[in-house]
């Protein structure tokens, strides 16, 4: 924590408290490897001391499993005596959330160890990749697109999800894509989500109904601050889940909640500008060869990146093939939504690439980090992506690992990702996800008895 940051935080907190005298509590939050927030709730008077001194939380919180439990084989929090890490508040993240029994302040925090964050903090992993671009005097500009489902808050007698009922008609929602009626019928919960975003200084864009019953998408604007864009995406996911509860619904970003309906995707749009703000993917009115090299790198690292874009057992259910499903092929193309990496129509030279592979269950920091790492690998090595795909793509690519264990083995063997994201992090991440995968596989379900008893 520098004196400059401390003074900036002090001024930010002073202005915030003056503008919000009714707030009595603040939540301090950080994001773990699974993409979930952890933290503590404090009296709001603690903010000013935290700005100067920081605060402590266990370092092991970053490496717990999806349920918030320790994982076998992950030493942090077990073999080391579970020490605290030192956290500092992140300037510019102080805001209000409004879904509890009363409004509260919230603020993000990051670790600091020997002047830099812990190597396994997702936010730092992304920062490390951004720094690799900055060393070349380049800066990514990104935008996230997230799909999510609203379900009935109650599960059926078998513990399975139930399709949400239309708040205005009382009937089960139907899968009508880009339906203005569906958006209108769910406007109370959607409007509350947008308001919650506004309170958290998150700029939202288009709102649309999607292919599944109860499925919607809310886009974000392009952001030159990549860390802030990932912050906002994580905060958005939390907001949707909490606001849905207030409306008697259950919101989910699970990749494939129902086999018969569309999955939830996390699409990322990325361009790169230089220190003068010029798009390095543009050459007059045409795409620069650098854009194709970036796509070549994405294709080259795609098998190794799958464990980040699809981080759970359920994630791989989304890759069923077919033109209306998630792309599962080593392909790219112009204005083709069935390929993995799409070049959208460029207006006024705004060339960019869209990664259409990740699921909405992916950790936004890590999904973006591995995407940027692949692009940088391609640019540095001038990798040719091959010919663009012009037809609709169907089926699976045999060169892609479409099971969790296979994906992790491919990640662990990737020198390209180790070089850019850090070998120590790649090793820990693969052990972490493998341990959770093993814990999941070791659970006996009712179906096992139904089939084999």
- 324 and 365, same domain (yes or no): yes
- 147 and 113, same domain (yes or no): no
Q: Residue 7 is part of a domain; what is its CATH number?
A: 3.10.20.70
- 96 and 159, same domain (yes or no): no
Instruction: Establish if 123 belongs to a structural domain.
Output: no
Three-state secondary-structure class, residue 359: strand
- 112 and 150, same domain (yes or no): no
Amino acid 114: pLDDT:
58
For 34-120, list the strands marked E by DSSP: 37-43, 55-58, 84-89, 95-97, 104-111
- 140 and 79, same domain (yes or no): no
- 208 and 82, same domain (yes or no): no
Is the per-residue pLDDT at 325 higher than 90?
Answer: no
Instruction: Establish if 209 belongs to a structural domain.
Output: yes
- 241 and 388, same domain (yes or no): yes
In DSSP terms, 170 is beta-bridged to: none
Domain encompassing residue 34: 3-118
Decide: residue 288, CB within 10 A, 0-12 exposed, 13-18 middle, 19+ buried.
middle
Lowest mean pLDDT among 14-23, 273-282, 344-353, 385-394: 344-353
pLDDT in tens, 227-248: 999 999 999 999 999 999 999 9
State the DSSP code for 44.
Answer: G
Average pLDDT, the chain: 93
- Give percent of the chain with pLDDT exceeding 70: 97
The structural domain count of the chain equals: 2
Three-state secondary-structure class, residue 218: strand
108 versus 72: which is more confidently predicted?
Answer: 108
Q: Residue 276 is part of a domain; what is its CATH number?
A: 3.30.590.10
pLDDT in tens, 435-446: 999 989 988 988
Furthest C-alpha separation in the chain: 68
- 114 and 136, same domain (yes or no): no
Amino acid 116: pLDDT:
72
Amino acid 355: pLDDT:
98
Q: Which of 62, 89, 118 is the last residue of a domain?
A: 118
pLDDT in tens, 156-209: 998 999 999 999 999 999 988 899 999 999 999 999 999 999 999 999 999 999
Instruction: Establish if 225 belongs to a structural domain.
Output: yes
- 96 and 160, same domain (yes or no): no
- Phi, psi (5° rounding) for residue 43? -60, 140
Residue that the structure tokens 């499903």 belong to: 325
22 to 45, 96, 97: CA distances (angstroms): 12, 11, 13
Whole-model pTM?
A: 0.95
Average pLDDT estimate for 277-298: 94
């Amino acid at each position: 924590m520098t004196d400059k940051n401390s003074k900036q935080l002090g001024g930010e907190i002073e202005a915030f408290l003056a503008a919000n005298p009714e707030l009595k509590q603040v939540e301090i939050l950080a994001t773990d490897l699974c993409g979930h927030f952890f933290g503590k709730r404090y009296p709001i008077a603690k903010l000013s001391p935290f700005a100067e001194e920081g605060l402590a939380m266990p370092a092991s919180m970053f490496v717990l499993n999806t349920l918030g439990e320790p994982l076998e084989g992950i030493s942090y929090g077990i073999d080391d005596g579970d020490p605290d890490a030192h956290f500092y508040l992140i300037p510019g993240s102080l805001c209000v959330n409004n879904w509890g029994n009363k409004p509260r302040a919230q603020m993000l925090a990051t670790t600091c160890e020997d002047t830099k964050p812990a190597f396994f903090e997702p936010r730092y992993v992304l920062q490390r990749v951004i720094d690799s671009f900055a060393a070349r005097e380049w800066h990514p500009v990104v935008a996230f697109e997230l799909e999510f489902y609203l379900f009935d808050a109650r599960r059926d007698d078998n513990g399975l999800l139930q399709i949400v009922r239309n708040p205005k008609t009382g009937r089960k929602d139907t899968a009508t894509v880009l339906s203005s009626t569906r958006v209108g019928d769910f406007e109370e919960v959607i409007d509350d989500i947008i308001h919650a975003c506004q309170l958290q200084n998150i700029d939202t864009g288009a709102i649309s109904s999607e292919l599944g019953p109860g499925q919607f998408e809310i886009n974000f604007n392009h952001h030159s601050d990549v860390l802030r864009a990932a912050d906002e995406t994580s905060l958005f996911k939390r907001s949707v889940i909490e606001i849905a509860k207030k409306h008697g619904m259950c919101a989910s970003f699970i990749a494939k909640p129902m086999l018969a309906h569309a999955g939830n995707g996390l699409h990322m749009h990325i361009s790169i500008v230089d220190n003068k703000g010029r798009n390095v993917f543009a050459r007059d009115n045409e795409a620069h060869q650098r854009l194709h090299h970036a796509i070549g790198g994405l294709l080259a690292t795609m098998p190794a990146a799958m464990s980040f874009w699809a981080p759970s057992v359920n994630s791989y259910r989304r890759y069923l093939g077919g033109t209306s499903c998630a792309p599962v092929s080593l392909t790219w193309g112009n204005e083709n939504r069935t390929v993995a990496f799409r070049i959208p129509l460029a207006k006024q030279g705004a060339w960019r690439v869209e990664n259409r592979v990740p699921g909405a269950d992916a950790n936004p920091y890590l999904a973006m980090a591995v995407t940027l790492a692949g692009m940088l690998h391609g640019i540095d090595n001038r990798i040719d992506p091959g010919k663009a795909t012009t037809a609709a793509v169907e089926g699976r690519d045999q060169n892609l690992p479409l099971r969790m264990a296979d994906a992790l083995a491919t990640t662990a063997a990737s020198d390209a990702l180790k070089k850019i994201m850090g070998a120590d992090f790649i090793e820990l991440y693969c052990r972490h996800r493998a341990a959770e995968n093993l814990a999941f596989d070791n659970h006996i379900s009712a179906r096992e008895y139904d089939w084999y008893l």
